[in-house]
């Protein structure tokens, strides 16, 4: 059964498919293809577009983005010496999909999988704007006392904000104007993530 589910994921990796196209591509029976596709959709591995075609779901897209983003995020952590995160929007929240900790003993720790509010913090501010000029933001003690952060938007090919790259750390190191110190590096990292995700 696992092999059949993977064959469905492989089939839609290039472009979304209707159920009939999925059956042709996998050789599965209509009942099996429909049952498995529906189950994969429930778990976020597939999703349907407005035309009812099956494509890769948000959980699969997150993993692809994570793999593309890691080199740029590791370089950002090394360059700034602070903790680095990658957030993606999920409904009325944001989810941390990458978290790289600062080498300092006093550091910001956000676990992978953490669900955080979309109304507080620099990453939230970036993600609330679906597109446009608000490509980076800073926050000081907005979500957590003693913590400051700077975030920049990661865009898809259509210019929509699909993720936020963040640097965060204690205010005593990042200062109360963290954008002056980190915005350029965070924006560069976000652009690197975009380029890697599209290649």
CATH number at residue 39: 1.10.10.10
Give the pLDDT mean for 125-133. 73
**Same domain, yes or no: 68 and 144:** yes
Final residue before a domain boundary, out of 13, 31, 56: 56
Please identify, among 39, 56, 73, the residue that sits at the C-terminal boundary of a domain: 56
Q: Which of 111-115, 140-144, 179-183 has the lowest mean pLDDT?
A: 111-115
- Hey, which of 50-59, 123-132, 158-167, 173-182 has the most confident mean pLDDT? 173-182
Return the higher-pLDDT residue of 65 and 185.
Answer: 185
Please give the residue range of the domain that contains residue 125: 60-198
Residues 180 and 91 in one domain: yes
Q: Under a CB-based contact definition with an 8 Å cutoff, are residues 167 and 150 in contact?
A: yes
**Of 56, 72, 97, the domain-final residue:** 56
Task: Name the DSSP letter for residue 24.
Answer: H
Q: Are residues 77 and 51 in the same domain?
A: no
Percent of the chain at pLDDT exceeding 70: 97
Do residues 19 and 103 share a domain? no
List Cβ<8 Å contacts ≥24 apart for 154-159: 154/65, 154/69, 154/86, 154/190, 154/193, 154/194, 154/197, 155/131, 155/194, 157/198, 158/131, 159/131
Sorting pLDDT into bands at 50, 70 and 90, what band is 10?
confident
- 33 and 124 assigned to the same domain: no
Checking if the pLDDT of 162 tops 60, the result is yes
**DSSP 8-class letter at 27:** -
The total domain count for the chain is 2
Same domain, 90 and 174: yes
**Are 167 and 112 part of one and the same domain?**
yes
Phi then psi for residue 59, to 5 deg, are -70, -35
Same domain as 65, residue 52? no
Q: Do 173 and 77 belong to one domain?
A: yes
pLDDT at res. 42: 85
For residues 142 and 77, membership in a common domain is answered with yes
C-alpha Rg value of the chain to the nearest Å: 19
Give the pLDDT band (50/70/90) at residue 183.
very high
Regarding whether 131 and 41 lie in a shared domain, the answer is no
Q: To which H or E segment does residue 23 belong?
A: helix 19-26
Pick the closest to residue 34 from 42, 25, 46, 23 (CA basis).
23
Q: Do residues 48 and 76 both lie within one domain?
A: no
């Amino acid at each position: 059964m696992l092999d059949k589910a993977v064959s469905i994921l492989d089939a839609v990796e290039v472009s979304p498919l209707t159920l009939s196209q999925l059956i042709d591509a996998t050789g599965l029976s209509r009942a099996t293809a429909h049952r498995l596709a529906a189950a994969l959709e429930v778990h976020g591995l597939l999703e349907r577009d407005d035309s009812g075609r099956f494509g890769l779901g948000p959980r699969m897209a997150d993993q692809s983005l994570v793999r593309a983003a890691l080199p740029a995020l590791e370089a950002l952590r090394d360059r700034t010496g602070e903790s680095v995160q990658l957030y993606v929007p999920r409904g009325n929240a944001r989810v941390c999909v990458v978290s790289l900790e600062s080498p300092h003993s006093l550091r910001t720790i956000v676990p992978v999988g953490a669900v955080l509010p979309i109304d507080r913090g620099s990453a939230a501010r970036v993600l609330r704007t679906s597109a446009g000029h608000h490509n980076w933001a800073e926050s000081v003690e907005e979500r957590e006392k003693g913590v400051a952060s700077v975030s920049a938007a990661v865009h898809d090919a259509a210019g929509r904000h699909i993720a936020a790259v963040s640097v965060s750390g204690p205010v005593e190191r990042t200062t109360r104007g963290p954008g002056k110190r980190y915005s350029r590096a965070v924006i560069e990292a976000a652009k690197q993530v975009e380029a890697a995700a599209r290649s």
